């Protein structure tokens, strides 16, 4: 591939991007597409439609200006801390690759170009290889420039990484404080799993007994988890019975009872009454569903336990509860909207084996994927293509076609295959048993990341046969030399990959073609109106984070080998910065979040990329017979690893758990301001397992359609007043039902 082919490819893609962005700026102004392009705002309030008639048909860059001008605070309020962290990845990449681009353009590129005494062709016909390190002679003194560039890039990466980690840790602490002032119920709640089974008493009684015995002063109450399928069936049965009774008074009572008994909400009033009736010392068993007959509803060995203070909840989640570590397993509960209810029913003893099984399955999937990738890689060798498909020979002889096929087609095919990966990994993560949706997304994101790094980077670099790749892993000693030989030759492939997978994915992200098409079909063929989605989409971190990190990896590894790649990469990061900000402002909504827990993964991956860059450089300096440069590279690798270790010690614990100091301060603040009482009341109705689709209540709160289709009622942001309205009715009935079911207590 030569410069002109590269420019053809870049030109096609730039053209495509510009056209698509202009199209987007038009489409977003059409009111019929508001639900596609303003999903987040649409959910909360309709965007203003005050534009003039003719303006609707003139493309404008206003969205770019808007995305650029939005401040970090706004991003935080729109998309949560995770969105800010995601934008920080892009900012970090922009900064570090600006430095790298500057250094490499003025230091490395001239060294590469003049690396060998040769007759240079006319510029457009110059092969790309002339600009890579492959053009530098063995033992050349120019290699010192590469080594210097390596040092500058590594040092600036360390510094920037350190400051990013520090600022994100600070942000996380601030975020916890803010969410505390918004009375986050998850701070007070612990998820207990693997409650020991006993023949004499129900799980609910065991929980009550255990926690009121061992956490006497701080235990507030608990809520059992029920097997999903069974209850919903019972709900239907009960409702039918209610209808049969016909008497309006009775029917109301019945409904109320169902509610108060475990299906949702439980009004704060009702609970206050229950707890008062139990006696003045409000410590003993306030199980919301505690006094249920176990034969009617199937309890699972898991429960949410509420504590009086945040500190108590953290203690209960961190200290080993029982002498048998497989019983009474406690974790801090996820936020109500974040709970992945169906996984709470999985017996705890299965989890470790599920985890191992899914990891193995993901690895197998990762290796099987090699087959289509190897085929794609074959396309870049035009001769092979001629050989395999002789009928194409005429077509491929045309210059433009051959440039298109070698420079463009392979990465398009690869990209199409890659679309199937994130959903598969999400499935694996769901099977794994994550207790929260954010956890599942984080786990999927890590799996996709491994997958991408292996299948896009390593497999393409080390291509050839499937077996030869496995050989490479099995001889770690030769890895630097192997990589040093293979990586520079793949520079042109990865440049086109940046065009196709990078730029094109960004324009597809902003265009949302599937949503647009679906919206059109709904409007004009199915003739439905109303919202496109039941809830605004949440940001697909498991797709976007691995992609951005993969481009970071490409940037680091190719920076000193093929510096020509850096300007294209910088363009990618700049567009990504604008596009994703726009999407966070307009499209995606923060339904649930990890609170910046993404960052340690990002940090570790960046360190991996850095070390990989240094190892490849070591290999290259070895191949080029430059012992001095090799010698200078080894301390860099050691420093990178030490730096990582230091950051792990210094910052990582903040992302795992909260500090006693902060929690106690927060608790005291709330106690002094008298907010604690309110929080305790709210707590009991915070977690609700079943959406109330049997009656009409679901319309009072907006229901929360999770990614995999199961629906969870959202009761988090309902105000207390709403709450009590919602469940006030069923109260009388409950008392009625209690009188009809004897011997329950």
Could you tell me if 559 and 100 are in contact, meaning their C-beta atoms sit under 8 angstroms apart? yes
Binders of its own copies among 478-497, rule CB under 8 A?
Answer: 478
- Tell me which stretch binds its own copies (CB under 8 A): 263-271, 323-331, 361-369, 681-689: 323-331
* Residue 654 C-beta: closest distance to its own copies, Å: 6
Binders of its own copies among 151-180, rule CB under 8 A?
Answer: 173
* Residue 606 C-beta: closest distance to its own copies, Å: 20
How far is it, in rounded angstroms, from Cα 39 to Cα 13? Answer: 28
The residue within the footprint of its own copies, chosen from 658, 689, 706, 713 (CB under 8 A), is 658
With respect to its own copies, which residue has the nearer C-beta, 3 or 435?
435
Under the binding rule (CB under 8 A), the answer on residue 399 touching its own copies is no
The residue within the footprint of its own copies, chosen from 58, 273, 320, 395 (CB under 8 A), is 320
E strand segments, 429-528: none
* Residue 330 C-beta: closest distance to its own copies, Å: 9
Could you tell me if 372 and 417 are in contact, meaning their C-beta atoms sit under 8 angstroms apart? yes
Distance from CA of residue 453 to its chain's centroid? 17
Under the binding rule (CB under 8 A), the answer on residue 51 touching its own copies is no
The residue within the footprint of its own copies, chosen from 203, 651, 687, 690 (CB under 8 A), is 651
The residue within the footprint of its own copies, chosen from 365, 417, 450, 652 (CB under 8 A), is 652
Q: Which residue has the tokens 């420039």?
A: 145
How far is it, in rounded angstroms, from Cα 350 to Cα 243? Answer: 41
Q: Beta 329-332 vs 703-705: how paired, if at all? A: unpaired
User: Looking at beta carbons, which pairs linking 28-35 to residues 24 or more positions away fall under 8 Å?
Assistant: 28/63, 29/55, 29/56, 30/56, 32/519, 32/523, 33/516, 33/519, 35/519, 35/531, 35/532, 35/533
- The site string for its own copies over 356-385 (x = CB under 8 A, - otherwise) reads x-----------------------------
With respect to its own copies, which residue has the nearer C-beta, 214 or 419?
214
Contacts of 319 (CB under 8 A, 6+ apart): none
- Tell me which stretch binds its own copies (CB under 8 A): 42-50, 312-320, 458-466, 595-603: 312-320
How far is it, in rounded angstroms, from Cα 646 to Cα 641? Answer: 9
- Buried/exposed 107-135: b ≥16 CB within 10 Å, e otherwise: bbbebbbebeeeeeeeeeeeebbbbbbbb
With respect to its own copies, which residue has the nearer C-beta, 517 or 642?
642
Among 713, 739, 743, 740, which residue's Cα sits nearest to residue 727? Answer: 713
E strand segments, 339-422: none
Report the first-to-last Cα separation within the chain, whole angstroms: 80
Under the binding rule (CB under 8 A), the answer on residue 214 touching its own copies is yes
* Residue 673 C-beta: closest distance to its own copies, Å: 19
Under the binding rule (CB under 8 A), the answer on residue 657 touching its own copies is yes
With respect to its own copies, which residue has the nearer C-beta, 474 or 739?
474
Under the binding rule (CB under 8 A), the answer on residue 661 touching its own copies is yes
Under the binding rule (CB under 8 A), the answer on residue 322 touching its own copies is yes
* Residue 359 C-beta: closest distance to its own copies, Å: 11
The residue within the footprint of its own copies, chosen from 319, 467, 525, 526 (CB under 8 A), is 319
How far is it, in rounded angstroms, from Cα 204 to Cα 215? Answer: 16
* Residue 616 C-beta: closest distance to its own copies, Å: 18
- Tell me which stretch binds its own copies (CB under 8 A): 256-264, 380-388, 549-557, 655-663: 655-663
With respect to its own copies, which residue has the nearer C-beta, 239 or 331?
331
- Tell me which stretch binds its own copies (CB under 8 A): 96-104, 377-385, 652-660, 680-688: 652-660
Contacts of 186 (CB under 8 A, 6+ apart): 332, 333, 334, 335, 336, 338
With respect to its own copies, which residue has the nearer C-beta, 477 or 745?
477
DSSP 633-668: HHHHHHHHHHHHHHHHHHTHHHHH---HHHHHHHHH
- The site string for its own copies over 688-707 (x = CB under 8 A, - otherwise) reads --------------------
- Tell me which stretch binds its own copies (CB under 8 A): 351-359, 435-443, 482-490, 577-585: 351-359
How far is it, in rounded angstroms, from Cα 494 to Cα 2? Answer: 14
The residue within the footprint of its own copies, chosen from 122, 295, 323, 672 (CB under 8 A), is 323
Contacts of 708 (CB under 8 A, 6+ apart): 426, 430
- Tell me which stretch binds its own copies (CB under 8 A): 12-20, 87-95, 373-381, 650-658: 650-658
The residue within the footprint of its own copies, chosen from 654, 686, 697, 727 (CB under 8 A), is 654
Contacts of 578 (CB under 8 A, 6+ apart): 64, 67, 68
* Residue 357 C-beta: closest distance to its own copies, Å: 10
With respect to its own copies, which residue has the nearer C-beta, 412 or 662?
662
Under the binding rule (CB under 8 A), the answer on residue 65 touching its own copies is no
The residue within the footprint of its own copies, chosen from 646, 673, 677, 735 (CB under 8 A), is 646
With respect to its own copies, which residue has the nearer C-beta, 48 or 649?
649
Among 562, 573, 566, 561, which residue's Cα sits nearest to residue 614? Answer: 561
Among 20, 226, 222, which residue's Cα sits nearest to residue 684? Answer: 222
With respect to its own copies, which residue has the nearer C-beta, 166 or 625?
166
Under the binding rule (CB under 8 A), the answer on residue 241 touching its own copies is no
How far is it, in rounded angstroms, from Cα 602 to Cα 541? Answer: 12
Strand ranges across the sheet with 299-307: 219-226, 299-307, 189-193, 329-332
658 Ramachandran zone, left/alpha/beta (phi>0; psi -120 to 50): beta
- Tell me which stretch binds its own copies (CB under 8 A): 318-326, 410-418, 486-494, 556-564: 318-326
Under the binding rule (CB under 8 A), the answer on residue 672 touching its own copies is no
How far is it, in rounded angstroms, from Cα 668 to Cα 267? Answer: 27
The residue within the footprint of its own copies, chosen from 71, 277, 295, 474 (CB under 8 A), is 474
- For the chain, the C-alpha Rg in angstroms (whole number) is 30
The β-bridge partners of 332 are 190
Q: Beta 189-193 vs 329-332: how paired, if at all? A: antiparallel
The residue within the footprint of its own copies, chosen from 106, 197, 352, 514 (CB under 8 A), is 352
- Tell me which stretch binds its own copies (CB under 8 A): 188-196, 300-308, 614-622, 656-664: 656-664
The residue within the footprint of its own copies, chosen from 71, 138, 295, 475 (CB under 8 A), is 475
Q: What residue ranges bind its own copies (CB under 8 A)?
A: 173, 214, 314-315, 318-326, 328, 352-353, 356, 471, 474-478, 642, 645-646, 649-654, 657-662, 664
């Amino acid at each position: 591939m030569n410069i002109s082919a590269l420019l053809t490819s870049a030109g096609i893609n730039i053209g495509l991007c510009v056209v698509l962005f202009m199209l987007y700026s038009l489409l977003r102004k059409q009111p019929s597409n508001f639900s596609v392009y303003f999903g987040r705002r649409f959910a909360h309030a309709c965007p203003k439609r005050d534009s003039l008639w003719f303006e609707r048909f003139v493309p404008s860059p206003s969205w770019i200006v808007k995305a650029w001008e939005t401040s970090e605070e706004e991003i935080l309020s729109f998309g949560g801390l995770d969105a800010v962290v995601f934008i920080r990845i892009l900012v970090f990449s922009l900064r570090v690759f600006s430095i790298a681009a500057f250094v490499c353009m003025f230091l490395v590129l001239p060294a590469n170009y003049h690396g060998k005494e040769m007759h240079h062709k006319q510029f457009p016909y110059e092969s790309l290889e002339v600009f890579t390190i492959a053009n530098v002679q063995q033992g050349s003194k120019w290699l010192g420039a590469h080594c210097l560039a390596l040092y500058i890039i590594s040092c600036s990466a360390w510094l920037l990484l350190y400051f990013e980690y520090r600022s994100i840790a600070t942000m996380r602490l601030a975020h916890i404080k803010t969410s505390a002032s918004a009375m986050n119920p998850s701070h007070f709640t612990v998820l207990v799993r693997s409650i020991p089974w006993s023949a004499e008493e129900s799980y609910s009684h065991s929980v009550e007994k255990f926690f009121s015995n061992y956490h006497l002063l701080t235990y507030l109450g608990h809520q059992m988890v029920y097997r999903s399928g069974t209850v919903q069936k019972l709900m239907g049965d009960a409702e039918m019975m209610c209808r049969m009774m016909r008497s309006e008074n009775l029917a109301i009572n019945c409904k109320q009872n169902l509610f108060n008994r475990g299906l949702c909400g439980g009004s704060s009033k009702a609970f206050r009454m229950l707890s008062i009736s139990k006696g003045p010392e409000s410590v003993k068993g306030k199980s919301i569903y505690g006094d249920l007959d176990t034969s009617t509803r199937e309890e699972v060995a898991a429960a949410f336990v509420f504590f009086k203070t945040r500190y108590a909840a953290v203690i209960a989640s961190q200290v080993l509860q029982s002498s048998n570590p497989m019983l009474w397993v406690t974790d801090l509960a996820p936020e109500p909207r974040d709970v992945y209810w169906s996984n709470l029913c999985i017996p705890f003893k299965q989890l470790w084996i599920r985890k191992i099984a899914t990891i193995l399955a993901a690895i197998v999937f990762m290796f099987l994927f090699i087959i289509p990738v190897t085929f794609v890689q074959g396309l870049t060798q035009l001769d092979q293509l001629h050989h395999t498909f002789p009928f194409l020979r005429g077509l491929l002889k045309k210059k433009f076609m051959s440039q298109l096929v070698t420079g463009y087609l392979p990465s398009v095919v690869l990209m199409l295959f890659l679309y199937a990966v994130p959903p598969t990994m999400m499935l694996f993560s769901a099977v794994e048993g994550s207790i929260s949706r954010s956890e599942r997304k984080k786990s999927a994101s890590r799996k996709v990341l491994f997958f991408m790094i292996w299948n896009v980077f390593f497999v393409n670099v080390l291509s050839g046969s499937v077996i030869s790749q496995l050989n490479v892993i099995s001889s770690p000693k030769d890895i630097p030399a192997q990589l040093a030989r293979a990586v520079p030759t793949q520079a042109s492939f990865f440049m086109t990959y940046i065009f196709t997978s990078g730029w094109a994915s960004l324009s597809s992200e902003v265009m949302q073609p599937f949503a647009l098409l679906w919206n059109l079909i709904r409007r004009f063929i199915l003739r439905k109106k109303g919202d496109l989605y039941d809830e605004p989409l949440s940001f697909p971190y498991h797709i976007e984070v691995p992609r951005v990190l993969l481009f970071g990896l490409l940037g680091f590894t190719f920076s000193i080998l093929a510096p020509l790649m850096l300007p294209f990469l910088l363009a990618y990061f700049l567009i990504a910065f604008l596009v994703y900000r726009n999407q966070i402002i307009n499209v995606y909504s923060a339904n649930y979040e990890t609170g910046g827990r993404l960052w340690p993964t990002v940090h570790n991956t960046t360190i991996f990329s850095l070390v990989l860059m240094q190892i490849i450089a070591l290999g290259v300096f070895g191949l080029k017979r430059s012992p001095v440069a090799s010698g200078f590279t080894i301390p860099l690798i050691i420093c990178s690893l030490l730096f990582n270790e230091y950051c792990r010690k210094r910052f990582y614990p903040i992302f795992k758990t909260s500090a006693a100091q902060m929690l106690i301060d927060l608790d005291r603040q709330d106690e002094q301001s008298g907010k604690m009482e309110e929080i305790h009341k709210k707590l009991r109705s915070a977690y609700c397992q079943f959406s109330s689709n049997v009656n009409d209540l679901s319309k009072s709160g907006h229901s929360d359609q999770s990614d995999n289709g199961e629906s969870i009622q959202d009761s988090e942001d309902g105000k207390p007043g709403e709450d009590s309205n919602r469940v006030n009715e069923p109260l009388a009935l409950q008392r009625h039902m209690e009188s009809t079911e004897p011997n329950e207590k």
